[in-house]
Chains A and B, each alone.
Chain A
Amino acid sequence: MCFKTLPVEFGEDGVARLRGGIPNPYDVTITKPDVGRTEDERTARIERLVARNGHIKDLNMDPVTRVAGALAVHVTADLDQGAYLDAHAQATLFRGYEVILMGRDPRDAIYVSSRACGVCGGVHAHAAAYAIEQAMGLRVPPLGTVVRNMQEAAEMGYDNPLHLYLLAGPDYSESVVRAANPELWPKAEAWPCPHAHIHGFKTMADLMTALNPLTGRLYREGLDFTRLAREMFVHLAGKYPHPQTVVPGGVSSTLTIKSLNEYHSRLGQIFDYAQRMLAVWDDIPAFFYEADERYLMVGARPANQIDPGYWDDPYAYDSTYANCNGWGEKRWSTPGVVIGGKLVTTRLTDINIGWEEFVEHSYYDESHTSRFATDPLGNPISPYHPWNKRTLPRPGARDWKDKYTWACAPRWDRQVVEAGAYSRVLMTALAQKIPDNDFIFSTGHSLRMMVPKGEVDEREVEWHVPTQWNAFERNRGRAYHYLFSQLVGLNSLLEAYSLFKQGERKVAAMEPHELEKAIPKDEQVAVGWWGAGRGWLTHHLVMDKGKITNYQICTPSTINASPRDPWGQPGPYEEAVMNTPIIEDISDPSRFTSIDMLRTIRSFDPCMPCTTHAHSGDGEVVREVNTCSCGGDD
């Protein structure tokens, strides 16, 4: 029984049903989660502290970008006690793709959603294709699924180093550490790296210097490896990041031995690099935890995570909702929900029916409907489920107690869960359901991986479920996810060679010109369960008479940047910031950099255009060049 908040129970046939005797079981005032500290209690505490001393400050930060208003985090900080008392994540960029997709041919979703973001194009295209082929009942040929897996492994090969070395890495670089945490620098100079024999940096100071923006060796190397991964993607899909070859029922690429070999030659260069990456991101947390154990709490959150799984078994995947638990659990990355560190389900139907999106604190009108009481298998779904929810934008003034962001509040079983590439590693490690293979092994408490021989010898590495999830463990988990994804790419490449040897060439269920006639005219609901570089990605589709009648995209950053929900539970960014101690020296507030909060937010690998894909009437993005991205106000 995976649900503890929603009144859902399971019959002997495995079908879920609502517990009887509860009127309006999805009413937010009736079915409520256990909430630690209520919003009123939090506010009252802050007011008490403000009354007692003058160290409490309200600060507005743009922790990610200098695009005005892209993501602002408003915090209330106690600079005397070094604590963030309150935090609100505010996304104020407007896109509108869900609204624009209404009434269109469902195939347009592949093209349109791909362009919702500058870095996540391929994953959106794939998620849309998955949703459409489920609605159409298309069975993807095994080689088509294998090519998709390879493409998406390559996309992770692009995304993960990009984040680790170009966005998060600089937070741990010599230039930043010397400025924001000068007390750490002498320690870094004297601290011998345990994995120096792998990454080549004798001391942590050497490693930090290699993380310096633009000039650092690790920074430049990360950039080079993103290029390699992009080339791998292009060899299969033609172009990156907005591929034209992703179609419902497979891919439209012309696959040749040459394209497989081109992919292979690049993949072969990655494994030595992956070993170095793991060594770097193993040593960074070790150093920080040893230097000051408060770093364990930077970005800390409970182990509540969710992921719909990724990369399909080419022989199990049949695209249907009816069989989704079967093919879902055979994914290379197992779907799952972890609550309080425990894996509570690996079934896609459970993940789907427990999913709701709330807008109490978002710039939308309440939009839940009762259009669908159940999923296609008869399992109950909420009025707040994406198939029932509409996108009804309503721009308004910012009010921390009311509406303050364009991100909605997705919740599973009315609990706050986070999403990340590392969630895939977590689910797969715990579930022990990974398909048999020579490289990746799930132990129930760790993920062991065999790194193939490159210029250096093969080596077995092991990722262990951390005792405390925090900013450092997100980055470490992302590094292990990089290797995981490339090993999925390798397994899939070997399968592609095998299929080729057998004479298999078919990569799509039907030719593109045949799709036109196959689009169903009756009402269909479907979901594309997929993943992005940042974790969870779903596209929920409702179509009728061959046109889209509702389209809901949920991205990992929507989940992580979510605001308070109807019960006052803060979203993952907000909660992680509130758990973060202010470790940097704040004796001179004018030199406050908020580095601890920046490390927290960036550890989620935020992607703001994806987050705020909803519509506004008159929003506008203004890029302020050469201005400071953060500032405090009393």
Chain B
Amino acid sequence: MLVGSVSELFQGDLDFGRHVVERLRLEDLGAHVIVEELHYGAVAVMQRLQDLRPAALVLVGAAKRGRAPGTLERRRIHPPLVSTAEVQLAVGDAVTGYVAIDLVVEIAAAFDAFPALTVSIEIEPVFASSREQLSTEASDLLEPAMALIRREAARVPVLALAGEIGTLLAEDRLGPAPAVDIVRALLSELSSLAEDGQWGATFALADRLRQAIVAGQTGDYMGGEDWALWWVLLEELDRLRAAEAIDVAR
């Protein structure tokens, strides 16, 4: 997973990403996480993404999108459908020195460097002009933004597992069984988690899956890899439930 700041240095709140990343670099987000500055030309950033091929990308910064100033938002970003002419406009911007989250997204998508799971943690700037300091509102959002990124970092392994299990399930190899249906529902919830950051019924389904396994409702075709991935998924979910202190009953 790559966490990258897309910032405009000393341009008030547009420099938000750098402030976040400079703090996060002092933390251990896990061996699977790289934290970098990505505030340079999006063509070079795209090449960096091609080099690293991260499973997940978190872009941190600020962008003016018409939200209430001071809004902190997690956005799931899917590869945009842009025409060749539009990509070339983005390339023109990047080549002439501009730095923006959207440039990274459009150019990475156009050149097949777009990570499967890409989100941005971004604020709506309150003060977007030449100044060393962030606005008070943006400063207050530093810790919440870092918390969101820590959460993303913690969740990425479970989402990667979900991807692997989904691939195995896609062949319909395991036949009909209650546990298989629960796993499918669980994967659907995890897909929603990637989208909106909400757990939904994930943990309730995890508990039901565990009960179904105990009851032997797994079907006749489970292989070693299936068992391994299912158990690891359950363990990862237990770990996250504890880490995020989620009360299923609530």
What is A's interface to B at a CB cutoff of 8 Å?
64-67, 70, 94-97, 99-100, 112, 115-121, 158, 162-163, 166-167, 170, 175, 213-215, 223, 226-227, 230, 240-242, 606-610, 615-623, 625-626, 629
Contacts and interface: CB of A to CB of B under 8 A. Distances in A.
Nearest to B91: A166
A118 B97 CA distance: 4
State the 5 A-B residue pairs at the shortest beta-carbon distance, nearest first: A96-B130, A115-B9, A609-B97, A213-B88, A118-B41
B40 A213 contact: no
A421 to B, nearest CB: 14
Contacts of B100: 623
A609 B86 contact: no
A620 B82 CA distance: 26
Given A66-B93, A166-B91, 20 more contacts: A65-B96, A66-B89, A66-B92, A70-B96, A94-B130, A96-B131, A97-B10, A112-B9, A115-B10, A115-B39, A116-B9, A167-B95, A167-B96, A213-B84, A240-B44, A241-B41, A608-B97, A609-B98, A620-B128, A621-B14
Given A95-B11, A115-B39, A70 B98 contact: yes
B132 A213 contact: no
A179 to B, nearest CB: 10
A274 to B, nearest CB: 20
25 contacts: A64-B96, A65-B89, A96-B129, A100-B10, A100-B132, A118-B39, A118-B94, A118-B98, A166-B92, A167-B95, A213-B87, A214-B88, A223-B43, A226-B44, A241-B40, A242-B37, A608-B97, A616-B129, A616-B130, A617-B129, A621-B14, A622-B64, A623-B63, A623-B64, A626-B82
Given A112-B10, A619-B129, A610 B97 contact: yes
A99 to B, nearest CB: 7
Contacts of B91: 166-167, 213
Nearest to A121: B40
A625 B98 CA distance: 14
A242 B39 CA distance: 9
A170 B84 CA distance: 11
B98 A619 contact: no
A94 B102 CA distance: 20
A119 B103 CA distance: 14
B47 interface: yes
Contact of A166 (B11, B43, B47, B129): B43
A451 B96 CA distance: 30
Interface string B68-88: 000000000000001011111
Interface in B20-54: 37, 39-44, 47
A431 to B, nearest CB: 30
Of B14, B37, B44, B128, the most chain A CB neighbours within 10 A belong to: B44
Contacts of A99: 130
A65 B93 contact: yes
Contacts of A70: 96, 98
Given A70-B98, A112-B9, A227 B47 contact: yes
Interface string B1-24: 000000011110010000000000
B110 interface: yes
A503 B42 CA distance: 40
Of B47, B64, B91, B129, the most chain A CB neighbours within 10 A belong to: B129
Given A118-B40, A241-B40, A626 B86 contact: yes
B48 to A, nearest CB: 9
Interface of B: 8-11, 14, 37, 39-44, 47, 63-64, 82, 84-89, 91-100, 102, 110-111, 128-132
A67 B93 contact: yes
B119 to A, nearest CB: 18
A141 B60 CA distance: 40
A622 B82 CA distance: 19
Contact of A620 (B63, B99, B129): B129
A497 to B, nearest CB: 28
Contacts of B44: 119, 158, 226, 230, 240-241
A145 to B, nearest CB: 25
Contacts of A94: 129-130
A245 B234 CA distance: 46
Contacts of B85: 213
A634 B82 CA distance: 31
B97 A629 contact: no
Contacts of B98: 65, 67, 70, 118, 608-609, 623
A66 B82 CA distance: 15
Contacts of B96: 64-65, 70, 119, 167, 606-609
A161 to B, nearest CB: 11
B40 A119 contact: yes
Contacts of A213: 84-85, 87-88, 91
Contacts of B87: 213-214
A629 B41 contact: no
Contacts of B89: 65-66, 629
Nearest to A213: B88
Contacts of B42: 118
B43 A162 contact: yes
A629 B94 CA distance: 15
Contacts of A214: 84, 87-88, 110
A179 B58 CA distance: 39
Contacts of B131: 96
B66 to A, nearest CB: 10
A174 B80 CA distance: 25
A119 B95 contact: yes
Nearest to B8: A621
B132 A119 contact: no
Contact of B95 (A166, A230, A622): A166
Contacts of B47: 223, 226-227, 230
Given A95-B11, A226-B43, A607 B97 contact: yes
B94 A619 contact: no
Nearest to B85: A213
B129 A618 contact: yes
